[in-house]
Structure 1
Amino acid sequence: MIKRIIEISNPARLSLKNRQMVVDREGFESVSVPIEDIGVLILDHSAIAHTQGILAACSENNVAVLICNARHLPGAILLPIEGNSLHSKTIAQQAQITEPTRKRLWQEIVKAKICEQANVLLNAKVDNHPLPAYVKMVRSGDPDNYEAQAARIYWQRLFGKTFRRDPDGFGINILLNYGYAVMRAAVARAIVGAGLHPSMGLHHHNQYNAFCLADDLLEPLRPAVDRKVYELCKRLPDEPALTPESKRTLLETLGVDCTINGQRLPLMTSLHHYAANIRKAICDGQKRVEIPAL
């Protein structure tokens, strides 16, 4: 069963009762949801109160809890310290990953990302671009930086020549930022469930980033968000904004069907297969890595 993504954006009190998350709002009847059914919980209001018990239950059930900032973008993620029975062994093997394995995995991730970007442009009826050729040219570790070369072409073809990707921007950028942040939390959740540590990346490395591996594995999934944002922009008559309706549409991204290991699965479910494949490549030397494809 696909896990639920729940966003709370009004004043509320969250508590735990009989393994259920109980949401109390003034003037409304209480609502309860089984903790085991939740995959991602998004808290987007400064007047939300919660008990320690609900956070502990979320941790025990590998629920990613996102706390949003004043711009309504996820600013913090709460994840369990241990999500797998072989956690210590897996972490030790992850820390000893060889450079050839690291570069090979990054090559596969970049190829998958560019391939998905090409599919988004195809869906948007944009042709005459070199992205399909770039996929075949990516070498181990992507020393030629085809990821960046593809991105420059991709953004201008998708959103126009004046568009610039800005993590601090508004309009289209704020929709992308929200979608990426939710996807990042879901990826981090799957990583912890596979016994890996989200801070130990393959390509991304920053001592101040606790989610380097999540950012690595997120890359080929970004185009799924891009497609949703493109579809939203086509429907919206005015400047895109982060509204309850647009957030609802972006959260639907985790429910879209994708292909992995020869199966069609919801993207949220496929993330666990994806993380497990990465763990096998790191710990068991598995050569072939399956990445979700839309």
Structure 2
Amino acid sequence: MPNIIHITKSDDLSISNNQLVMIDEDNNDEKNKISLNDISAIVIENCYCKISAILQLRLVENNIPIIICNEKHQPEIHSLGLFNHFQVTLRINEQIEWEKEKKEKLWSRIVENKIENQRALLEYLEKSEISIERLKTYKENLQKDDVSAEHQEAIASRIYFQELYSNSFKRFDEDGVNSALNYGYMILRAIISSKIVAKGFHPSLGLHHKSQFNAYNFSDDIIEVFRPMVDYLVYMYKDILNEVKLSKEIRQKILLVAQQKVLFNNKKYDFFQAVDYYLDSIRNYFVKDEEVIIPTLSVMDYEY
């Protein structure tokens, strides 16, 4: 199972014999040693934590993202290696040349899969049958173009979020639920970005997302089908989140999202593996004209 290291104190982080060494700053004692082979990501939530340059280098070499949060505990910075793939120039040039029509068709497939994952979650939670059927209808009404997909996705998401949290819920309001969603999405986005770079792609060159102000357009395309993983965990704690901001305990729970199982080609993989296979499938779709395999989610397999 992926192991995400959560740093909440002002520890000193270094490396020795390919092991992460955590030193308690208060008494200068070693708290723990963990092999880099057993680490999937490091989340640092204390701005006074110190991390050695050699540790950062080794983490990047091993495609282990370092995610640094701001004072409000929202992910702000994450590490990306510049040359983590031996064919980086070839793959970025391929990415630039991906056909527009194929990108639009793939985006429609991604939205279709996302809506289906949302519908399945509402069904699992025994939410309104009317809302569940409406999501099914929006998915079936998708056409193979960007405009249709964006329109159907927006309507489906509004129904989905209000059914999941409350009729008054609005995405991007400043409240506990939105803070938790943002935290979870940003953690997944950072992990996905590191995987994109490891595959030789550039995270800014998106399929559908194209903003000149967004350095992670491709990451935002990839994350779409995985968002309900975060949504479900936040749903489980929504009554607490309506009253308080993100506690350390809640943040630790949210990190469990990246440790869940995902279905890819009818087999179960952890999230990290599923992203790897998903990116390989996308490249094969554009380069070899193969059918894209898009991950699906299975709520029953989650361990929260």
- Quickly name the TM-score band, shorter chain normalised: over 0.9
Q: Which one of 221, 224, 237 corresponds to residue 219 of structure 1? A: 224
CA distance in 2, matches of 1:141, 1:239: 41
- Aligned equivalent of 1:123: 124
Q: How does 1:150-229 map to 2 (within 5 A)?
A: 150-166=156-172, 169-229=174-234
Q: Which amino acid aligns with 1:20?
A: Q
Q: How does 1:39-118 map to 2 (within 5 A)?
A: 39-118=40-119
SS in 1 for 2:147: coil
Change (3 A) 1:292 1:240: farther
SS in 2 for 1:128: helix
RMSD value, Cα: 1.6
Change (3 A) 1:237 1:285: closer
TM-score (norm 2): 0.91
SS in 2 for 1:274: helix
SS in 2 for 1:31: strand
* Unmatched tracts of structure 2, length 5 or more: 299-304
CA distance in 2, matches of 1:226, 1:184: 14
C-alpha contact (below 8 Å) 1:102/1:141 kept by paired residues: no
C-alpha contact (below 8 Å) 2:229/2:297 kept by paired residues: no
SS in 1 for 2:55: helix
Q: Which amino acid aligns with 1:55?
A: Q
Query: Following TM superposition, by how much is the alpha carbon of 1:238 offset from its aligned partner in structure 2, in angstroms?
Result: 6.1
SS in 2 for 1:125: coil
- Aligned equivalent of 2:301: none
* Unmatched tracts of structure 1, length 5 or more: none
SS in 1 for 2:237: helix
C-alpha contact (below 8 Å) 2:206/2:217 kept by paired residues: yes
Count how many residue pairs are aligned between Structure 1 and Structure 2: 291
CA distance in 1, matches of 2:145, 2:238: 34
CA distance in 2, matches of 1:142, 1:282: 17
Does residue 12 of the first structure (1) align with residue 11 of the second (2)? Answer: yes
Q: How does 1:15-26 map to 2 (within 5 A)?
A: 15-25=14-24, 26=26
TM-score (norm 1): 0.94
* Residues 222-264 of structure 1: CA deviation (Å, up to 9, x unaligned): 1110000001225x38615311211121111112222102211
